[in-house]
């Protein structure tokens, strides 16, 4: 990872944590104030304070601490310290159970509301994706067995309209949790076809990779001219003298019809000297290039460090940009947040039952990596990433695990049915169990992070 990308990753990770933690804790803070509870401290981060200042009539202390992996809102509470008589009514523990439920629920709710707002912005500004046009169908693949043909445009999956490959992937992931068969509607040359696609070949580990390829659903590749675009500094292409705008005619006297041919030939000849004939400024010239040998899942492939020169007119034919009115965008944003929340819960349930691998859990290292990648892709990608992580944080905190917000809500539900608060002893035992479960979850996430770093 170069210095620029490393810096972008660190900054993006800190921005992600800062926004999500601040929004979560502000939810607790604001509803506590609405409910008349005195807030003593509002802290973003743990450990040594980097900044602290007391403000307002209640002299609430606002803190920015050194360890940015969380935060907290400290409220007046008789269980933690003696409370003066005139402020007893403002203590958290003296509030009716419905107020305590509102205050505890407000943090996760704030994260989910943030996700809705972020998706709202995305849907209003326009979502760009690749049209789900089918490419080459591998023989004996599930797609081939379903009689899906190359060139067909997927229009719906199980009666859910799809406009991009991202939509197709998302709907198929959801359907896999329900059934091993889906109905694909596709069209070509004005004719519509219905295909029954089997998902039996997809295993839990495939969710971490491009499982669409395993189904035989490949992206249609247009015949692109073998024209050189950007060249990586210090690459084999630069050393050979290739330049942006060069049109490749042949490699070792093998004709090159389109870009994919050129890529395949290069990949098949790592560390081998190749005779390349190309056109530059209407003149035919010959160059010799030796592709660098790159390890690709244990196999050596060639790479010269030259990219395709993009022709916007060709690319635009295969892209779709969908914008929505503010009201429709808000509705879709709410639906997207709801569907993602339910999907997260189903995935977690499947992990508990063993139907889905625990390798899907991610820790701070993976989140930081994705934050950097999404920021590098552009503001829309980063906003989408931020919304997704905000949903994950909100859903995670609603789980009925002591020490999480959901654990406290569980106590309050028991209090409603029991008619009295849960005993201090029961809460203490619950805290221990909660810390143990949370520690186990974090250990698993860190293990996955380290495993991804080692295996790539």
User: CATH code at 169?
Assistant: 2.30.42.10
Neighbouring residues of 174: CB distance < 8 A, sequence distance ≥ 6 = 339, 343
- In percent, the amount of the chain with pLDDT more than 90 equals 38
Q: Are residues 209 and 160 in the same domain?
A: yes
pLDDT digits (tens, 9 = 90+) for 226-249: 889 888 888 999 999 999 989 999
The answer to whether position 247 is within a domain reads: yes
SS (H, E, C) 322-340: ECCCHHHHHHHHHHHHHHH
| Residue where a domain stops, chosen among 258, 285, 310 | 310
Report the alpha-carbon distance of residue 216 to residue 138 in Å, rounded: 6
- Residue pair 118/390 in contact (Cβ under 8 Å)? The answer is yes
Report the alpha-carbon distance of residue 8 to residue 44 in Å, rounded: 22
Q: Are residues 209 and 247 in the same domain?
A: no
The answer to whether position 160 is within a domain reads: yes
Mean pLDDT computed over every residue of the chain? 86
Residue 338: is its pLDDT beyond 60?
Answer: yes
Report the alpha-carbon distance of residue 434 to residue 440 in Å, rounded: 10
Q: Are residues 302 and 235 in the same domain?
A: yes
The answer to whether position 193 is within a domain reads: yes
Q: Are residues 172 and 206 in the same domain?
A: yes
Burial per residue of 399-429, b for 16 or more beta-carbon CB atoms within 10 angstroms, e otherwise: bebbbbbbbbbbbbeeeeeeeeebeeeebee
pLDDT digits (tens, 9 = 90+) for 131-147: 889 988 988 899 999 99
Q: How many domains does the chain have?
A: 2
The answer to whether position 66 is within a domain reads: no
pLDDT for 2 equals 58
Residue 455: is its pLDDT beyond 60?
Answer: no
The answer to whether position 189 is within a domain reads: yes
**What is the average pLDDT across 405-422?**
88
Report the alpha-carbon distance of residue 213 to residue 183 in Å, rounded: 18
pLDDT for 346 equals 81
* Residue 39 structure tokens: 């807030």
pLDDT for 61 equals 94
The answer to whether position 285 is within a domain reads: yes
**What is the average pLDDT across 295-307?**
84
Between the alpha carbon of residue 308 and those of residues 249, 254, 261, 276, 388, the distances in Å are 14, 19, 12, 16, 32
* Residue 218 structure tokens: 């490949």
pLDDT for 304 equals 92
The answer to whether position 324 is within a domain reads: no
| Residue where a domain stops, chosen among 215, 239, 257 | 215
The answer to whether position 416 is within a domain reads: no
| Residue where a domain stops, chosen among 285, 310, 335 | 310
Burial class, 20, CB count within 10 angstroms (exposed 0-12 / middle 13-18 / buried 19+): buried
What residues make up the domain containing 281? Answer: 228-310
Q: Are residues 149 and 209 in the same domain?
A: yes
Which residues are marked as active site? Answer: 25
Handedness of CA 72, 77, 81, 84 (dihedral sign): positive
């Amino acid at each position: 990872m170069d210095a620029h990308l490393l810096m972008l990753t660190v900054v993006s990770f800190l921005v992600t944590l800062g926004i999500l933690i601040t929004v979560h804790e502000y939810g607790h803070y604001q509803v506590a104030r609405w409910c008349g509870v005195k807030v003593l401290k509002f802290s973003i981060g743990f450990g040594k304070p980097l900044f602290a200042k007391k403000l307002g009539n209640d002299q609430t202390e606002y803190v920015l601490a050194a360890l940015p992996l969380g935060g907290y809102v400290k409220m007046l509470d008789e269980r933690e310290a003696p409370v003066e008589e005139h402020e007893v009514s403002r203590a958290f523990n003296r509030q009716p159970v419905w107020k305590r439920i509102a205050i505890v629920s407000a943090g996760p709710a704030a994260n989910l509301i943030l996700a809705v707002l972020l998706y709202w912005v995305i849907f209003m500004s326009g979502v760009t994706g690749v049209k789900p046009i089918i490419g080459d169908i591998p023989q004996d693949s599930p797609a081939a067995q379903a009689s899906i043909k190359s060139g067909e445009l997927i229009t719906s999956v199980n009666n859910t309209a799809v406009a991009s490959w991202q939509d197709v992937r998302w709907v198929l992931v959801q359907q896999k949790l329900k059934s091993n068969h889906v109905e694909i509607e596709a069209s070509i040359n004005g004719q519509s076809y219905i295909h029954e696609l089997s998902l039996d070949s997809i295993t839990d580990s495939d969710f971490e990779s491009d499982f669409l390829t395993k189904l035989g659903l490949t992206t249609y590749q247009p015949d692109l001219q073998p024209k050189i675009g950007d060249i990586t500094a210090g690459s084999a292409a630069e050393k050979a003298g290739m330049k942006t705008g060069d049109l490749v005619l042949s490699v070792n006297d093998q004709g090159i019809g389109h870009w994919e041919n050129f890529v395949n030939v290069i990949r098949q000849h790592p560390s081998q000297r190749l005779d390349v004939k190309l056109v530059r400024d209407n003149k035919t010239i010959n160059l010799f290039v030796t592709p660098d040998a790159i390890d690709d899942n244990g196999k050596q492939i060639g790479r010269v460090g030259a990219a395709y020169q993009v022709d916007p007119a060709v690319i635009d034919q295969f892209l779709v940009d969908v914008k929505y009115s503010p009201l429709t965008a808000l509705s879709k944003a709410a639906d997207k947040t709801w569907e993602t929340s339910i999907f997260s819960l189903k995935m977690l349930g499947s992990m508990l039952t063993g139907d889905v691998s625990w390798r899907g859990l991610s820790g701070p290292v993976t989140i930081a990596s994705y934050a950097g990648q999404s920021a590098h892709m552009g503001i829309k990608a980063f906003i989408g990433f931020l919304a997704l992580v905000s949903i994950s944080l909100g859903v995670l905190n609603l789980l009925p695990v002591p020490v999480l917000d959901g654990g406290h809500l569980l106590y309050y539900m028991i209090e409603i049915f029991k008619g009295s608060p849960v005993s201090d002893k029961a809460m203490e035992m619950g805290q221990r169990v909660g810390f143990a479960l949370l520690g186990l979850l974090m250990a698993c996430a860190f293990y996955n992070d380290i495993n991804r770093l080692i295996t790539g």
